[in-house]
Amino acid sequence: MFSAGLEQYLILSAVLFCIGLLGVLTQRNLVKVIMCLEIMLNAVNITLIAFSQYVTPVMLTGQIFAIFVMVVAAAEVSVGIAIIFSVYRNRESVDIENFDILKW
Amino acid sequence: MLDIVFYLLSAIAVASAIAVIVVRDIFRAALCLILLFMTVAGIYLLLHADFLAIVQVLVYVGAISVLIIVAIMLTRDVQHGQPLGRLKYPAIVVAALLLGVVALGVVNTVFVLPDNAPLQETVKPLGKALFGDPGYLLTVEIAAVMLLSAILGAIAVIREK
């Protein structure tokens, strides 16, 4: 029951995903929001690799998906931090309450 | 033995993920995030994903955390005393509900597992799967183009007018 199998890994990644979701919804510093997004992406990667290990152990499909998730995460972080810098230059703040430029 | 390692790594991962949210000083939160990335790399090793564990250390611990720390350094005037947003309690409820639903689904699902032994080293099979004949070559090239466009987009957004 308590030996580490597929379900334990899935529960672990669900816990990490929900912690990341909580951070994205509650944090007010934009850099911290991006950090919590990274937690969520890592949780998804754990899920993919656990399925790859236990369901398709020879084809490695989940590991290939995890590689592409990492590529997308790197691109997302670079563009997101560029956007934070650019808004910080105009507003002198990284508080998410001040990021209302796109609101009508 | 491996179970003990798994539960130890899981405890460190969950604790550092909570610390990322709870810790007030954002630089310490970034250090907790790096600890989380390292423990996730350890979990990949437990899952026989050696190549992905190394990529995790290189990309996340090496590159993304440096990017995040640079972002913290360049925006370092409003760090302390960031209170949680107004939607704190609804967000906690939503996250707990999602966790409950997912955990219920995981526990009640019967997974059909084959009895193949997992591959011991994955670098060569991953390379064959990515670049081989019925492979993911088109996706690899699209990923390269997407990285290039992300670099160009970041430069275009951040450039002084």
What CATH number is attached to the domain comprising A42? 1.10.287.3510
pLDDT bracket for residue A2 (50, 70, 90): low
CATH topology of domain B1-85: Four Helix Bundle (Hemerythrin (Met), subunit A) (1.20.120)
User: Residue A60: is it exposed, middle or buried by C-beta count within 10 angstroms (0-12/13-18/19+)?
Assistant: buried
Residue A27 has pLDDT above 70, yes or no: yes
Structure confidence at residue A1 (pLDDT): 56
Binary contact (A55, B75; C-beta < 8 A):
no
Structure confidence at residue B85 (pLDDT): 61
pLDDT bracket for residue B11 (50, 70, 90): very high
The least confident of A27-31, B6-10, B43-47 is A27-31
Residue B31 has pLDDT above 90, yes or no: yes
Say how many Å lie between the first and final Cα of chain A, rounded. Answer: 54
* Long-range residue pairs from B81-87, CB within 8 A, at least 24 positions apart, any chain: B81/B24, B82/A27, B82/A28, B82/A29, B82/A32, B82/A95, B82/B24, B82/B26, B83/A28, B84/A26, B84/A27, B84/A28, B85/A25, B85/A26, B85/A27, B85/A28, B85/A96, B87/A25, B87/A26
The mean of the pLDDT values for chain B is 88
Probe site for chain A from B4, B7, B23, B44 (most A CB atoms < 10 A):
B44
Structure confidence at residue B83 (pLDDT): 57
Binary contact (B82, A35; C-beta < 8 A):
no
Residue B160 has pLDDT above 60, yes or no: yes
Q: Which residue of A has its CA nearest to B69?
A: A31
Q: How far is CA A77 from CA A22, A31, A84, B65, B159, in A?
A: 19, 10, 10, 10, 17
Q: Which residue of A has its CA nearest to B42?
A: A46
Binary contact (A78, B67; C-beta < 8 A):
yes
Residue B40 has pLDDT above 70, yes or no: yes
Task: Assess if residue A104 is contained within a domain.
Answer: no
Using an 8 Å CB-CB cutoff, list chain A residues near B7.
4
Mean pLDDT confidence for B98-119: 86
- Residue predicted with more confidence, A82 or A59: A82
The residues spanned by each domain of chain B are 1-85, 118-161
pLDDT bracket for residue B150 (50, 70, 90): very high
Structure confidence at residue B78 (pLDDT): 58
Domain count, chain A: 1
Nearest Cα of chain B lies from the Cα of A25 at a distance, in angstroms, of 6
Query: In chain B, what percentage of residues exceed pLDDT 90?
Result: 57
Structure confidence at residue A93 (pLDDT): 79
- Residue predicted with more confidence, B1 or B85: B1
Probe site for chain B from A1, A9, A12 (most B CB atoms < 10 A):
A12
Domain with A28, as residue range(s), is 6-98
Using an 8 Å CB-CB cutoff, list chain A residues near B147.
71, 74-75
Nearest Cα of chain A lies from the Cα of B14 at a distance, in angstroms, of 6
Tokens of A68: 């592409």
Binary contact (B158, A88; C-beta < 8 A):
no
**What are the phi and psi torsion angles at B136 (to 5°)?**
-115, 35
Query: In chain A, what percentage of residues exceed pLDDT 90?
Result: 54
Residue B107 has pLDDT above 80, yes or no: yes
Q: Count contacts between A and B (CB, < 8 Å).
A: 226
Probe site for chain A from B88, B99, B123, B131 (most A CB atoms < 10 A):
B99
- Residue predicted with more confidence, B120 or A10: A10
Stated pTM of the model:
0.91
Structure confidence at residue A104 (pLDDT): 63
Binary contact (A34, B96; C-beta < 8 A):
no
